Amino acid sequence: AQSVTQPDIHITVSEGASLELRCNYSYGATPYLFWYVQSPGQGLQLLLKYFSGDTLVQGIKGFEAEFKRSQSSFNLRKPSVHWSDAAEYFCAVEDYKLSFGAGTTVTVRA
């Protein structure tokens, strides 16, 4: 069965600093991978997705993610974090349904 692991439960980053969130997946075939963001009291919003092709994927809000098959990873990055990026981030793998990681909470300090 497919699964994803997000090793970091909580990350604190200074505004303007770079951010990297880790995601490792387990899937037998070529995975469809997603990153979602959830602000407090809100639903999940898609940041970006990987289906095939270019391993560096650009998303909304200045986020990007890199698919590395050799490492079974799909890490999310942002070069310069804004206070509004404080939220919970979920990595997910799809096999007709989405299986989510446990999530990483990002706190942005001034």
Partner 1 sequence: DAGVIQSPRHEVTEMGQEVTLRCKPISGHNSLFWYRQTMMRGLELLIYFNNNVPIDDSGMPEDRFSAKMPNASFSTLKIQPSEPRDSAVYFCASSLARQGASTEAFFGQGTRLTVV
Contact positions vs partner 1 (CB under 8 A): 32, 34, 36, 42-46, 49, 51, 90, 94, 96-103
Considering the complex, what minimum distance in angstroms separates the CB of residue 9 from partner 1? Answer: 11
Full DSSP string of 43-90: -EEEEEEE-SS-SEEE-GGG-EEEEEGGGTEEEEEESS--GGG-EEEE
Question: Do the beta carbons of residue 89 and residue 73 sit within 8 Å?
Answer: no
Query: Looking at beta carbons only, is 42 or 71 nearer to partner 1?
Result: 42
Spatial separation of the C-alpha atoms in residues 89 and 38, rounded to whole Å:
6
Give the length of the chain. Answer: 110
Considering the complex, what minimum distance in angstroms separates the CB of residue 90 from partner 1? Answer: 7
Spatial separation of the C-alpha atoms in residues 26 and 28, rounded to whole Å:
7
Q: By three-state DSSP, how is residue 17 classified?
A: coil
